[in-house]
Amino acid sequence: MPGREAKHEWMILIHLLPSKPTNLRVSVWRKLQKLGAISIKNSVYILPFNEKTHEDFQWLKQEIESSGGEATVLRAGAVEGATDEEIINAFRKGRDEEYARVTADFDGLTGTIREQKRGGHLSAGRLARYEAELDKLHAELERVVSTDFFDAGGRAAAMKAYEQCQKALRASQSHGKATAKTCAARSDALDISQYQGRRWVTRRNLHIDRLASAWLIKQFIDKRPRFHFVGEGEAVEGGIPFDMFGTEFTHRGENCTFETLIKRFGFDDNRALVEIAEIVHDIDLKDNKFNRLEVAGVNTTVLGLSELLKDDRKLLQQCSVIFDGLYALLSAESAKSKGKGDGYKKLGRKRGSGKRKKRS
């Protein structure tokens, strides 16, 4: 009849999780968040019905049951204790909160890019990092949009923030290309654009230098790298070897491979990366050149993961989180030090002398 509102159907997931494994509850909660589900009662989650949401809940049900839990998936035309309007408003509120977070992240990145451009600090490495951050934020925005079942009001502001951030980055890239040409003439830094979607080859049984170098490649050099781990005498056609004898990206003089990559790609103006390089150097070369206090902890953690994970790809994935954390911490510390007018002091470096002894 005219004027009657469309009737909604819902998918309902009810689950009971075992006490072990202890991380199952967090894992299930995160997956429900990614699906865009909302909680209407304790351990009761809901999605609007369609083929995809039905399949999503069935897969999650199977995962819960395979881990020793119990789960039931129902399709219903109404939900006890809540009207369709209340449920829809709850979905919109949830998406608006996510849109607000991603909008703030876009705005923060836009502000950083513009500030760095004004200060003349936009190196090729920083531009590559900001482009990677923009890609991650855009992927998160697309995820939120895909679960915005009822057109939440925050979508427009988030899309506008993305467009402004993209515009700021493009303008800075044009500026950065001119700056990069000047820097290249002075420092002979390699052009990152020539190293996209490449095959990167290194020796099997990864340890600190190869792990850190692979992380650097993925986060700052090649947005779509393909890593190959080979045995003695093996090669990959068209591959770029690193940390392998006689190649361009390997130990040079007193530098480990990670340090070589930083210098060849012009990242030596990135304070946090330089500090990570000092940690990697001290662990890899064992010469205590920088006396970094983080060495023991990072080395023990990497050795422990190496013992636990015998698969190089899994090891790289897990260790990348360590380097992500180090980079975030050291970047924050560097920014804090600059704000206090003390750009030399560094986290983990013994304080007091103010000078580093020169090596003979």
Fold of 10-82: Alpha-Beta Plaits (3.30.70)
Burial of 185 (0-12, 13-18, 19+ CB in 10 A): exposed
Question: Residue 235 to residues 9, 204, 240: CA-CA distances in angstroms?
Answer: 56, 12, 10
Task: State the chain's mean pLDDT as an integer.
Answer: 85
Is-contact 273 244, C-beta < 8 A? no
Please say whether the dihedral angle defined by the alpha carbons of residues 160, 162, 165 and 170, taken in this order, is positive or negative. negative
Question: Residue 353 to residues 302, 316, 336, 339: CA-CA distances in angstroms?
Answer: 31, 37, 20, 21
Question: Residue 260 to residues 189, 247, 266, 345: CA-CA distances in angstroms?
Answer: 11, 11, 10, 23
Residue 312: what pLDDT? Answer: 94
The C-alpha angle 240, 242, 245, rounded to 5 degrees, equals: 110
The pLDDT of 121-142, averaged and rounded, is 85
More confident residue, 110 or 3: 110
SS3 assignment, position 227: strand
- Range name among 86-100, 109-123, 170-184, 262-276 with the lowest pLDDT average: 170-184
Q: Shortest CA distance to 127 belongs to which of 188, 174, 74? A: 174
Question: Residue 144 to residues 98, 110, 131, 172, 220: CA-CA distances in angstroms?
Answer: 7, 20, 20, 27, 26
Residue 6: what pLDDT? Answer: 56
Burial of 281 (0-12, 13-18, 19+ CB in 10 A): buried
What's the CA gap between 174 and 122, in Å, rounded?
11
Please check the confidence at residue 3 and state whether its pLDDT lies above 80: no
Write out the two tokens for 147.
């679960």
Single-letter amino acid, residue 326: L
- For residue 125, name the pLDDT band (cuts at 50, 70, 90): confident
SS3 assignment, position 21: coil
- For residue 353, name the pLDDT band (cuts at 50, 70, 90): very low
Q: Which residues pair with 242 in a beta bridge?
A: 249
The string of pLDDT tens digits covering residues 28-80 is 999 999 999 999 888 899 999 998 899 999 999 998 999 899 999 999 999 88
- For residue 21, name the pLDDT band (cuts at 50, 70, 90): confident
Is-contact 312 205, C-beta < 8 A? yes
Q: Give CATH 3.30.70.240 domain extents, the chain.
A: 10-82
